[in-house]
Structure 1
Amino acid sequence: SPSEELIGYVLPAATLTFNQPMVSVSSLDENTNVEELGISLTPKIEGRWRWTGTKTLQFEAKHRFPHSTKFTLKVDKERCVSALGRKLAEAFAFEFSTDTAKVTNFSPHGMVATLKPKCFLLF
């Protein structure tokens, strides 16, 4: 997840679920080095990766995923090895974009304005 190409709300995390266990239950609380597994999220933002189960890896953004940004999540087929010793059949890549800012209200509108109007935009 995210399961949609365009994310229209504040995204707190991106989740990657595998069909095989990737880590043992005893290592769920350990620091996760996704670079060793060939997993990357670009562009990089502040946050942390953590295993939420033996098959599910989650990136939690420190603040939130920024708006108007296209992200790419990649998994290298050679470096990503399951706890059973199996590799992916092919490399995996998934792109998603966060929603762009939209003006929801503005002023002045529908009325006569001065030559130097004060403008108000609400996003």
Structure 2
Amino acid sequence: MATENREFNFKPDGVWHYCTRCTDENQGEFYGQESWGKAVYQKIIIPESIVFTDMFADEEGNAADGMPVTMVTMTFVEHRGKTKLIMRSRFASVEGLQQVMEMGVVQGCASQFYRLDGLLEKLQQIG
């Protein structure tokens, strides 16, 4: 997965408008697909948590009709001298959850966390 950030304002009521593109040929039918999304930050408590709504959008940042909206809570806790990230997603319905599962949300999120792991590893080597 590759991510393009169209807009990023990390503050309460700030917007993150982004596009993810599948660049992994092993993802079969998902390869080459792009998905535009928009997150609106509800609450940011440093260093404890980030709460935001995440939705499918178009290139201009308009919410996509008929697509589920997800309430995401990211909590950061100390665990054995390191930071543990707990990410919870809440959907309005089971159908909304099933819809995004069928679209490959688990694989997409996992690929982004793997990329983050790689970036953090590089930064530790530099610092």
Greater RCO structure (CA 8 Å; 6+ sep)? 1
* Pairwise TM-score range, normalised by the shorter structure: under 0.3
**1 or 2, which has the higher strand percentage?**
2
| TM-score normalised by length of structure 1 | 0.26
